[in-house]
């Protein structure tokens, strides 16, 4: 029993209660598949004693940092240290259906937003949970594995803003470089996909009848069934996911495990970075201070420090290091080295998370239905069955609302993305999903509890290009204190207009013949806090959206990339921090505007491109962006 509890320790087993036998059996099943059958590559071994100096020091082993460490260590003469505050993946993180159960564990930073009146009203304390990966692989270990690149117009707009080299045609090769697409129809019949890369992409090998009904319903509503990562995005489809043989393919599994044997790559886990060391005279980043094994350590970087800690941690570390808004750093007594708008421009994909519909037929993913011997055997022997569904997410849809057309934009530039789940937050009876969603007891008791352990579906309409902007600030000058996150969801009136239209279209989709044959119907329980408005009116849908505000885990933009004339820019188009040398930011925080889709694939692309820029600058005599601009 002690061995089992040791394996369960990172998951804080007491926080959720599946059948007691199921989780230990699931761990054994995952170990069997990982080590004896499908993926014999070893788990990573902690580097006990990092040296005092490396060519490159990378902060954060998440989706971007794992790629950077892998690609830079391809150069035999380059010494690379990867610092990760968290632990390695566990065997249970490989199981796709368990995605929702990984939050609020030791692999999660467990961030919460500050209370605001515009959204998150149905959450405990009006604070939304913001899961962020504290583990090798970062949020690619916690997420729902959706592989979505965004819309080509997103990147063309980046280039139009002055970010040379970030247009769609320039970045497409980097998407293809990392990809190993296992769908032969997609991989061999289009220029948009790649094979042979580190990152495995495939559709889930098993789905409920509701997954097919989703695509059929979209077609019945006049949308096409198409590859959203190819020429056109609009349409309904089964999702492409970062999976390999039915198991999660995180960036740690994809990029770090094949590189773990390289002598020039060292990885230090449980290494909590407290600041970047910057010479205030030369204005050069020359090292990193971190806390590990109950001691503070310093490591020097001969060439560059690369900050890949994510859209929350990267701005926090920059500000703690003296790079940020001057007035804010002075408030906390931090010496100002470079005055930059760090932490501003925060964007996130926000969704109405409790748009649920009861289903009469027993066809959805109810937790008690997949906690059985046969589901385990399908997973162990074939990598199939209900355990391979990514957190229950079985469909994606990209649609335009009427507000898109009023703006006279291109026809293929959707403003709503749907996430279709064959279940709901209540599908586990309130054991864990309610907690990770951050719902208040009032919301659970008054709205969701009648659906506990019952068949249902959820359609989450997600704003693709929100106009609202939030910000992140320091709580204190202590690295141990979580930063303050002000989401500002729905503070721009246009965002709510688009959301309400997205909700109404989702209701139409749920009432198509494709879903009606399973007995799908409207959920007639009123959301607590919305009793004062007329049910099913636009005002009610707005109230529902403000109460069930779910992040889709895509915070971005807090270290904005932009040309030198952009007053909001923190990094240049080579991702170098303005006013400093030896320091780049490589993660989701550099996005000038959030992409129209899930952000994990774009972050991997950003890191692939950044790795090439670093190699070109230090090893191939490629001129920097600033040098090229000066020659013009």
Catalytic residues: 554
Burial of 493 (0-12, 13-18, 19+ CB in 10 A): exposed
Is residue 273 marked as binding?
yes
Q: Can you tell me whether residue 202 is helix, strand or coil?
A: strand
Cα-based distances in Å from 512 to 225, 303, 424, 443, 506: 16, 59, 19, 28, 10
Cα-based distances in Å from 176 to 29, 153, 233, 434: 32, 18, 17, 37
**Rama region for 522: left / alpha / beta (φ>0; ψ in -120 to 50; rest):** beta
The DSSP code sequence of 547-597 is HSEEE-S--B-TT-B--TT-TT-SB-TT-BBTT-BSEEE-SGGG-SS--SS
Q: Can you tell me whether residue 373 is helix, strand or coil?
A: helix
Q: Which of 477, 466, 196, 463 is nearest to 329 (CA)?
A: 477
CA distance 141 to 600: 11
Cβ atoms of 226 and 269 within 8 Å: the answer is no
Dmax (CA) for the chain in angstroms is 71
CA distance 199 to 197: 6
Q: Which two tokens stand for residue 374?
A: 């046969």
Helices (H) and strands (E) in the chain, counts: 20, 25
Is residue 525 marked as binding?
no
Which helix (H) or strand (E) is 265 found in, with range?
strand 265-268
Which residues carry a binding-site annotation for FAD?
A: 135, 273
């Amino acid at each position: 029993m002690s061995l089992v509890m040791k394996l369960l320790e990172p998951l804080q087993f007491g926080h959720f209660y599946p059948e007691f036998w199921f989780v230990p059996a699931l761990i054994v099943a995952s170990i069997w598949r990982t080590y004896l059958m499908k993926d014999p590559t070893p788990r990573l071994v902690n580097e006990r004693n990092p040296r005092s100096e490396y060519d490159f020091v990378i902060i954060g082993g998440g989706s971007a940092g794992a790629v950077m460490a892998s690609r830079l260590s391809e150069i035999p003469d380059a010494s690379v240290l990867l610092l990760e505050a968290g632990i390695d993946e566990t065997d249970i993180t490989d199981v796709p259906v368990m995605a929702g159960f990984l939050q609020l564990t030791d692999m999660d930073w467990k961030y919460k937003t500050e209370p605001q009146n515009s959204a998150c009203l149905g959450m405990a304390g009006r604070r939304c949970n913001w899961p962020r990966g504290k583990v090798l692989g970062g949020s690619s270990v916690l997420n729902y594995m959706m592989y979505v690149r965004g819309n080509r117009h997103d990147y063309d707009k980046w280039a139009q803003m002055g970010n040379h080299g970030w247009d769609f045609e320039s970045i497409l090769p980097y998407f293809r470089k990392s990809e190993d697409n296992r769908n032969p129809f997609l991989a061999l019949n289009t220029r948009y996909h790649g094979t042979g890369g580190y990152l495995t992409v495939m559709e889930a090998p098993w789905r409920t009848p509701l997954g097919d009904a989703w695509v059929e319903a979209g077609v019945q509503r006049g949308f096409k069934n198409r590859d959203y990562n190819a020429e056109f995005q609009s349409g309904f489809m089964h999702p492409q996911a970062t999976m390999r043989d039915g198991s999660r393919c995180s960036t740690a599994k994809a990029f770090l495990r094949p590189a773990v044997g390289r002598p020039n790559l060292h990885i230090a886990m449980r290494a909590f970075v407290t600041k970047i060391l910057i010479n205030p005279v030369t204005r050069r980043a020359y090292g990193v201070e971190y806390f590990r094994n109950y001691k503070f350590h310093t490591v020097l970087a001969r060439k560059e420090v690369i900050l890949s800690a994510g859209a929350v941690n990267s701005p926090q570390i920059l500000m703690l290091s003296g790079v940020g808004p001057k007035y804010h750093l002075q408030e906390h007594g931090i010496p100002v080295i470079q005055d930059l708008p760090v932490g501003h421009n925060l964007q996130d994909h926000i969704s109405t998370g409790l748009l649920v519909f009861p289903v009469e037929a027993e066809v959805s993913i109810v937790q008690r239905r997949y906690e059985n011997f046969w589901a385990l055997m399908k997973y162990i022997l074939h990598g199939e069955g209900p355990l391979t569904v990514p957190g229950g997410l079985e469909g994606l849809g990209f649609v335009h609302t009427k507000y898109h057309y009023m703006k006279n934009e291109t026809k293929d530039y959707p403003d709503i993305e749907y996430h279709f789940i064959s279940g709901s937050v209540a599908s586990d009876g309130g054991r864990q999903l309610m907690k990770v969603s951050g719902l208040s007891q009032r919301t659970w008791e008054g709205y969701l509890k009648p659906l506990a352990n019952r068949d249902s579906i959820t359609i989450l309409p997600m704003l693709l290009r929100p106009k609202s902007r939030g910000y992140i600030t320091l709580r204190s000058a202590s690295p141990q204190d979580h930063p303050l996150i002000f989401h500002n969801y729905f503070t721009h009136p246009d965002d709510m207009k688009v959301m309400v239209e997205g909700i109404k279209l989702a209701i139409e989709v749920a009432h198509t013949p494709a879903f009606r044959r399973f007995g799908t119907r409207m959920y007639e329980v009123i959301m607590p806090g919305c009793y004062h408005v007329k049910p099913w009116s636009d005002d009610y849908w707005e109230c529902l959206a403000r109460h069930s505000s779910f992040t889709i885990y895509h915070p971005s933009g807090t270290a904005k990339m932009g040309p030198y004339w952009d007053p909001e820019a923190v990094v240049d188009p080579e991702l170098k921090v303005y006013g400093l040398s030896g320091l780049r930011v490589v993660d989701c925080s550099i996005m000038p505007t959030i992409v129209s889709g899930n952000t994990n694939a774009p972050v991997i692309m950003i890191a692939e491109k950044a790795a090439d820029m670093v190699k070109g600058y230090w090893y191939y005599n490629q001129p920097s962006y600033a040098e090229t601009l000066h020659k013009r």
